[in-house]
């Protein structure tokens, strides 16, 4: 079963169960996938759909930071619930230690020594962790190792 088929099946299930929040989030993601297909003029494969879902999760994490600064605990809770709905569609997330190990391997492979080599490291690294780690976390670990 492809990821889009799973999203569709889960959407139908959420409708039958009366889970309005889950239904809303799945519909938003399906809409984002359809928009990406229209923009790219092609049907997305599972990896590309994971990229869209990752982008949606990242947008929500950024929103949480803004809501916390604004003192909107109600929106923080709602947005965290949306992230919890989306996470099962992503591959298992890597821990910070696992990301650090992969970063160290990439740094050694590229032969990076300074912060100027960050672009080379990120170019090698991002395909390895795509969808499995937050880009912000990866960036922070690379920066800390290249200082």
Question: 91-133: per-residue pLDDT in tens?
Answer: 888 888 888 899 888 888 888 778 888 888 888 888 888 878 8
Place of tokens 């049907």: 43
pLDDT digits 0-9 by tens, 2-45: 899 999 999 999 999 999 999 999 999 999 999 999 999 999 99
Sign, Cα dihedral of 69, 70, 71, 75 = negative
Residue spans of alpha helices (H) in the chain: 3-17, 20-40, 46-69, 73-86, 96-110, 118-129, 135-145
Cβ contact 91:132 at 8 Å: yes
Helix (H, G, I), strand (E, B) or coil at 112: coil
Whole-prediction pTM value? Answer: 0.79
Q: How far is CA 104 from CA 7, 30, 32, 98, in A?
A: 35, 36, 34, 10
Residue entry with tokens 């490291």: 121
State the distance between the two ends of the chain, measured CA to CA, in whole angstroms. Answer: 44
**In the structure encoding, which two tokens stand for residue 142, read together?**
């690379």
């Amino acid at each position: 079963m492809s990821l889009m088929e799973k999203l569709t099946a889960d959407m139908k299930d959420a409708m039958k169960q009366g889970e309005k929040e889950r239904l809303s989030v799945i519909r938003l993601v399906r809409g984002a996938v359809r928009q990406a297909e229209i923009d790219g003029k092609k049907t997305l494969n599972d990896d590309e759909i994971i990229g869209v879902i990752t982008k949606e999760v990242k947008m929500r994490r950024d929103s949480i930071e803004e809501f916390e600064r604004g003192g909107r605990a109600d929106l923080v809770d709602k947005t965290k619930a949306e992230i919890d709905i989306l996470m099962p569609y992503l591959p298992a997330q890597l821990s910070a230690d696992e990301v650090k190990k992969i970063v160290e391997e990439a740094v050694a492979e590229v032969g990076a020594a300074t912060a100027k080599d960050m672009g080379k490291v990120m170019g090698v690294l991002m395909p390895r962790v795509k969808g499995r780690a937050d880009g912000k976390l990866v960036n922070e670990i690379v920066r800390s190792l290249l200082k």
